[in-house]
Amino acid sequence: MTEAAPLPGRPRGGVLSGPATARAVNVLAPNPSAMTLDGTNTWIVAEPDSDLAVVIDPGPLDEAHLHHVVATAEQAGRRIALTLLTHGHPDHAEGAGRFAELTSTKVRALDPALRLGDEGLGAGDVVAVGGLELRVITTPGHTADSLCFHLPADRAVLTGDTVLGRGTTVVAHPDGRLGDYLDSLRRLRSLTVDDGVHTVLPGHGPVLEDAQGAVDFYLAHRAHRLAQVETAFENGHRTASEVVAHVYADVDRSLWPAAELSVRAQLEYLGEHGII
């Protein structure tokens, strides 16, 4: 869920649909929009020599797309054994129930309301299917239930909406909180330093081949926006809508409602820290 156009110098890279790493293949959902960019990236992840696969974010409730995901796995000689969700927004999760029916799989997520089966997901969990290993990283901020999945064998991380392939993401206030989001970005950055992660497989947009650069860009962007919001508030723009009209004046107005969610989160953050 994108907030605004990218700033100059944002890292770029990778494919929109098809193989992205040795273990991850993207099937792009047909739901492009200002909020979803080219559409939702549904990821099929499997060990190269395995006949079992994991699907991350089946996407919207679009019957043709869900069947396309199944067919893509089957064409590679694989059966889908498990469905995972990065978070509960409909463009990622609405099709999960129907997809579970098509594949006879369980759905694992952080939010119990999204699960189909007894197992959830939490920090430090390791999902192992057919030799594949995915490490669960809790990354709240975009939403309270946001997760990322570290794919160590490919030195990659599947980020859902926490980091996008183009533009910047929304901190979806009140569920999303800016302090949590900044902590999550720092957690992802530590993966690039301590675990050698170099590839971002996002929930929307192209693959990014410089994970550390992408996270650094996000952190710098958030600091820049936070300073702009603080200045706008000090100059008398006191409501979120007033701040958006001032700070995002050069951004497509269709993105202003999303920007207002982030501004509300920023104002809350500044208030909690005694800055305004």
pLDDT computed for residue 9 by the predictor:
43
Spatial separation of the C-alpha atoms in residues 95 and 60, rounded to whole Å: 5
What is the spatial distance between Cα 147 and Cα 115, in angstroms, rounded to a whole number? 14
* The predicted structure's pLDDT at residue 15: 80
Burial 86-105 (b: 16+ CB within 10 A, else e): bbbbebbbbbbeebbebbeb
Spatial contact of 54 and 81, defined as CB atoms under 8 Å apart = yes
CA distance 135 to 211: 17
**In angstroms, what is the C-alpha Rg of the chain?**
18
Pair 138, 117: CB distance under 8 Å = no
**Structure confidence at residue 16 (pLDDT):** 86
Per residue in 242-272, pLDDT (tens digit) is 999 999 999 889 999 999 999 999 999 999 9
C-alpha pair distances (Å), 21 with each of 27, 106, 205? 13, 25, 15
SS3 118: coil
Class at the top of the CATH hierarchy for domain 2-6+10-272:
alpha beta
Residues in the chain with pLDDT values less than 50: 7-9
Closest-CA residue to 175 (of 214, 209, 144)? 144
Q: What is the DSSP letter of 182?
A: H
Question: Positive or negative, the Cα torsion across 136, 29, 144, 224?
Answer: positive
Q: Which residues have C-beta within 8 Å of that of residue 236, sequence separation ≥ 6?
A: none
Domain ranges of the chain: 2-6+10-272
Q: What is the pTM of this model?
A: 0.95
List pLDDT tens digits, range 160-202: 999 999 999 999 999 999 999 999 999 999 999 999 999 999 9
pLDDT of amino acid 19: 96
The two structure tokens encoding residue 129: 């299917």
Helix axes 178-194, 256-272, angle to 10 degrees: 90
